[in-house]
């Protein structure tokens, strides 16, 4: 049962997403190739094939982790999806979205999301306080659905059986779909899916047709009702959208995604103006000089001081490369994306992770709370030391930072609302896909689906 908490990177079409591997070997990092520090779906599938085990069950919480359901689910040459019933798992999100949890804030209310709630359900222990909060889950499936029910971040938790039905949903709504059974025509199957997803077929009718899958359908309906109630409590502004049929719900989700993207563009404009960059450089220079002055008296003894020093050195070492990245991006060069990947790899691997592996390893992260707090400390220090004309510039920079922070918070809210609508949409579409597979009497697909449910229900 591999359980992975890492950073994830998407493949171009989400068909071979990868896990960024974090190595602690300083020497190997000096000339590390980012592409070789990535474990892809295909690489992991090959590795799992060498493990002799009846069931291989995974839990992944990294960004784009939903792509790893392809360890089990594939499409044949005729366009029909099939699954390996001996490989299954659970992910924090879909193959095309980022996840929460990649944060040093593991000391309090800011540490939320599937990653935390899954661990707490598996152990029965609050990961922040260390106190017992309940009995450990008996299966990974139980832990997954518990985490998914209370997660209010941008995560969209997914099981392999969900992923399998999502792929069938996309197949069934294709106008050119041809069933491999004689029970329904392609047009009838597509129409049945559209009606079921858009509340055109009653719950009673679907449950009557469910046969041996009735417990699964009942669980999905209850899960959807519970999730709606939970979302309405925390995001009452979404109450009306939650009751929309799937097609309109998808449009509402897309609108929220577009609003989030607009916020991100506004944030980029705010933080990339000439005035912002010019003052930022002056602040970074003064802060770097301050840190170097402190270093003359020895390495800081307190954890936060060591962490801030490590971050300062990291930023200084990468500023020139980041400038090169921004120039390449402005030119529209394809090299920009690869340079950014290398920057991320070098920064996190060589500095932050090594810093966290030293004595008092958790303390720098706990004491610092976030990079945002350090940025505020930095501005406050430079502002207090600066001559009057420069102090005014720093004050303007501080105002821009506050504006950027407000935009960032709005972005997070749109992201969270989008994730909530998408969770409901996925349940609606998976129910519709399972219903039509039963109507078509597609025994191969239904057998694979049952195999995945059995795999996911394995006891820990």
HEC string of 133-156? CCCCCCEHHHHHHHHHHHCCCCCC
Beta-bridged to residue 75, according to DSSP, are: 81
137-151, 169-183, 299-313: lowest mean pLDDT where? Answer: 299-313
Q: Quote the tokens at residue 326.
A: 């921004």
**The predicted structure's pLDDT at residue 187:** 95
pLDDT tens track for 44-78: 999 888 888 889 999 998 889 999 999 999 999 99
Does the pLDDT value for residue 162 go beyond 50? yes
What is the mean pLDDT of the segment spanning 298-308? Answer: 59
Highest mean pLDDT among 16-25, 35-44, 251-260 belongs to: 251-260
Answer with the residue of higher pLDDT: 98 or 333: 98
Rg of the chain, C-alpha, whole Å? 25
pLDDT digits (tens, 9 = 90+) for 237-264: 999 999 999 999 999 999 999 998 898 8
Ranges of H-type helices in 296-370:
303-330, 335-346, 354-356, 363-368
- Give the model's confidence band at 18: pLDDT under 50 very low, under 70 low, under 90 confident, else very high: confident
Does residue 455 carry a pLDDT above 50?
A: yes
Higher-confidence residue of 330 and 456: namely 456
Whole-model pTM: value is 0.79
Task: Let me know: does 107 contact 363? Beta carbons within 8 Å.
Answer: no
Q: What is the pLDDT of residue 171?
A: 97
**pLDDT averaged over every residue in the chain:** 80
What pLDDT score was predicted for residue 140?
93
Of 27-41, 70-84, 173-187, 274-288, the one with minimum mean pLDDT is 27-41
User: To the nearest 10°, the Cα dihedral for 97, 103, 107, 111?
Assistant: -10
Asked whether residue 366 carries a pLDDT value surpassing 80, the answer given is no
pLDDT score, position 102: 59
Q: What is the pLDDT of residue 365?
A: 36
pLDDT of the residue at 399: 80
Q: What is the mean pLDDT of residues 12-17?
A: 84
DSSP secondary structure string for all residues of 273-290: SHHHHHHHHHHHHHHHHH
Q: What mean pLDDT do residues 360-367 have?
A: 36
Is residue 83 within 8 Å of residue 73, measured between CB atoms? yes
Residue-level length of the chain: 460
- Of the chain, the percentage scoring pLDDT greater than 90 comes to 47
- pLDDT at residue 223, as a whole number: 95
Residue 138: what pLDDT?
Answer: 93
3-state secondary structure of 73: strand
Q: What is the mean pLDDT of residues 30-41?
A: 63
**What is the pLDDT at residue 247?**
95
Q: Over range 201-229, report the average pLDDT.
A: 96
Contact 398, 132 (CB under 8 A): no
pLDDT of residue 164: 98
Q: Could you say which DSSP state residue 132 is in?
A: B
Q: What CATH number is given for 1-165+444-460 in this structure? A: 3.40.50
Mean pLDDT of 353-357: 41
Going by the DSSP 8-state scheme, the letter that residue 206 receives in this structure is H
| More confidently predicted of 394 and 357 | 394
CA of residue 86 relative to chain centroid, distance: 25
Domain boundaries, the chain: 1-165+444-460, 277-380
Query: Which residue has better confidence, 403 or 345?
Result: 403
Question: Higher-confidence residue: 154 or 325?
Answer: 154
Least confident of 172-186, 269-283, 347-361: 347-361
Is the pLDDT reported for residue 318 higher than 70? Answer: no
Model pLDDT, residue 375: 62
């Amino acid at each position: 049962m591999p359980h992975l908490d890492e950073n994830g990177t998407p493949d171009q079409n989400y068909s071979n997403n990868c896990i960024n591997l974090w190595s602690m070997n300083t020497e190997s990092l000096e000339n590390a190739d980012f592409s070789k520090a990535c474990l892809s779906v295909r690489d992991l599938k090959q590795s799992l094939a060498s493990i002799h085990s009846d069931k291989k069950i995974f839990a992944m919480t990294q960004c784009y982790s939903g792509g790893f359901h392809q360890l089990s689910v594939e499409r044949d040459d005729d366009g029909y999806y099939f699954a390996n019933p001996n490989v299954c798992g659970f992910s924090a999100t879909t193959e095309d979205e980022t996840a929460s949890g990649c944060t040093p804030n593991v000391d309090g209310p800011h540490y939320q999301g599937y990653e935390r709630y899954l661990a707490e359900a598996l152990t029965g222990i609050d990961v922040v306080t260390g106190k017992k909060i309940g009995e450990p889950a008996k299966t990974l499936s139980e832990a997954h659905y518990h985490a998914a029910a209370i997660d209010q971040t941008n995560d969209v938790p997914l099981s392999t059986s969900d992923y399998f039905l999502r792929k069938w949903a996309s197949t069934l709504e294709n106008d050119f779909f041809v069933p491999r059974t004689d029970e329904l025509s392609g047009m009838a199957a597509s129409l049945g899916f559209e009606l079921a997803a858009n509340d055109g077929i009653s719950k009673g009718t679907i449950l009557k047709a469910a046969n041996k899958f009735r417990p699964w359908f009942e669980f999905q309906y209850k899960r959807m009702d519970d999730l709606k109630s939970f979302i309405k409590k925390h995001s009452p502004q979404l109450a009306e959208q939650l009751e929309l049929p799937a097609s309109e719900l998808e449009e509402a989700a897309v609108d929220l995604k577009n609003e989030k993207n607009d916020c991100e563009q506004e944030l980029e404009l705010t933080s990339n103006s000439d005035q912002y960059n010019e003052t930022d450089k002056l602040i970074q220079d003064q802060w770097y000089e301050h840190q170097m002055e402190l270093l003359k008296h020895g390495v800081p003894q307190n954890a936060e001081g060591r962490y801030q020093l490590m971050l300062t050195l990291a930023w200084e070492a990468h500023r020139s490369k980041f400038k090169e990245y921004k120039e390449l991006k402005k030119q529209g060069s394809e090299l920009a994306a690869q340079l950014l990947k290398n920057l991320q790899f070098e920064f996190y691997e060589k500095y932050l992770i090594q810093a966290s592996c030293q004595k008092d390893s958790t303390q720098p992260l706990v004491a610092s709370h976030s990079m945002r707090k350090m940025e505020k400390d930095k501005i406050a220090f430079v502002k207090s030391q600066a001559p009057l004309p420069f102090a005014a510039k720093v004050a303007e920079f501080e105002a821009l930072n506050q504006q950027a922070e407000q935009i960032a918070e709005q972005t997070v809210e749109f992201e969270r609302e989008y994730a909530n609508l998408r969770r409901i949409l996925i349940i609606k579409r998976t129910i519709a896909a399972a219903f039509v597979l039963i109507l078509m009497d597609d025994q191969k697909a239904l057998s694979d689906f049952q195999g995945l449910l059995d795999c996911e229900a394995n006891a820990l």
